[in-house]
Structure 1
């Protein structure tokens, strides 16, 4: 099995509790920041695409894209750091638990900015300390300052930072699903 096939199997192992949390708590919250056409970069097994049926997903794992397509979702294969869309295509982009997997995120962030319309938004989610440590595929840990700094380097203005499921320092240390989310807008 290749590394991407292993990771796809790992994604399919998410719990029912995790799916309920995403559909009833996380996705409604992040969706309110994403009007219009939305791209889900790193769509995985399509949970966000099932929640937001008008969104388009991309992933670098062929099995994940095929899985999403069998569910009737609009998912497309992307090459590393190359989104298969023209300039200024989307009103919003979601990168939910993606950036921490990318050792050198600059090319990917530049691609995201390229496909954004003027005044479009990006919602980025990254794991907290326990979540980061729990996955050997994670390459870069982001705290608030590092996440904001990276995105501001590409002309994205911070609109809001929040933690999920709720902000609490102790959850950062003891809950794998604890994440930092940032909402950024193209200037």
Structure 2
């Protein structure tokens, strides 16, 4: 069983959450936009209203599925930020979106430097990564996570590369509770459609509170930084 693909397919059902997430950073989307690690295109089609979108992934099957979803509106191809290889040549971007990807990359430091080099001067990198190593469990292992992140430490790494941090915050406390219970207590290895449907029922009533105040913990860290 491909747990990574199962998770992507499950998350495609979380339409409200995906749109809520994009609203957290939409003001930083402009011009030429690159989505790194587009997967099967769960976020890709949402990005097209903000600018000209390119998208890359290292998985040919995912690229094929993502192309079907966007219906020719996005330039999609193979790209590997860990190796610095892309289907395009010489292109620079005003915004780079990297959502739930960095944790899958062994040499994440090199990947971040690659993203820095792909940005235009003044361009923004939008990162969404899993938060808190205390949440690391069977699900993380099964879907290929090398790590979860600490907000302060990741911010320091980005500043060391040359980025200016514009925004950094924790997201999705209710999801973190569910993740901990499923991964640590139930020892589940996947994020199935049933869990996502339950989350999707709860999220619209709970997550808007995070628009007012940052939660003390959550599934994710959102960092927006500028070159």
1:152 aligns with 159
Of Structure 1 and Structure 2, the greater helix share is in 2
Give runs of ≥4 in structure 1 deviating > 6 Å: none
In structure 2, relative to structure 1, the CA distance for the partners of 1:76 and 1:26 (3 Å cut) is same
In structure 2, relative to structure 1, the CA distance for the partners of 1:185 and 1:87 (3 Å cut) is farther
CA distance in 1, matches of 2:18, 2:44: 12
Q: Are the aligned partners of 1:102 and 1:140 in contact in 2 as well (CA < 8 Å)?
A: no
Trace 1:1-187 onto structure 2 (pairs within 5 A): 7-14=4-11, 16=13, 18-23=14-19, 25-53=20-48, 54-71=52-69, 72=71, 73-79=74-80, 80-84=82-86, 85-87=88-90, 89-129=92-132, 132-133=136-137, 134-136=139-141, 137-165=144-172, 171=174, 173-176=176-179, 178-186=219-227
| Deviation, structure 1 residue 163 | 2.3
* Higher RCO by CA contacts (8 Å cutoff, separation 6 or greater): 2
Question: Any stretches of 5+ residues in structure 2 without a counterpart?
Answer: 180-217
Describe the superposition over 1:66-125 as per-residue Cα deviations: whole angstroms up to 9, x where unpaired: 001122243211134324244561001111111111122122112111110001000111
Q: Are the aligned partners of 1:128 and 1:172 in contact in 2 as well (CA < 8 Å)?
A: no
SS of 2:28 mapped into structure 1 = coil
Question: Any stretches of 5+ residues in structure 1 without a counterpart?
Answer: none
Count of residue pairs the alignment pairs up: 177
TM-score (norm: length of structure 2): 0.70
2:196 aligns with none
TM-score (norm: length of structure 1): 0.83
CA distance in 2, matches of 1:122, 1:132: 25
In structure 2, relative to structure 1, the CA distance for the partners of 1:172 and 1:67 (3 Å cut) is closer
CA distance in 1, matches of 2:156, 2:150: 10
Determine which structure has more spread, i.e. the larger CA radius of gyration. 2
In structure 2, relative to structure 1, the CA distance for the partners of 1:70 and 1:172 (3 Å cut) is closer
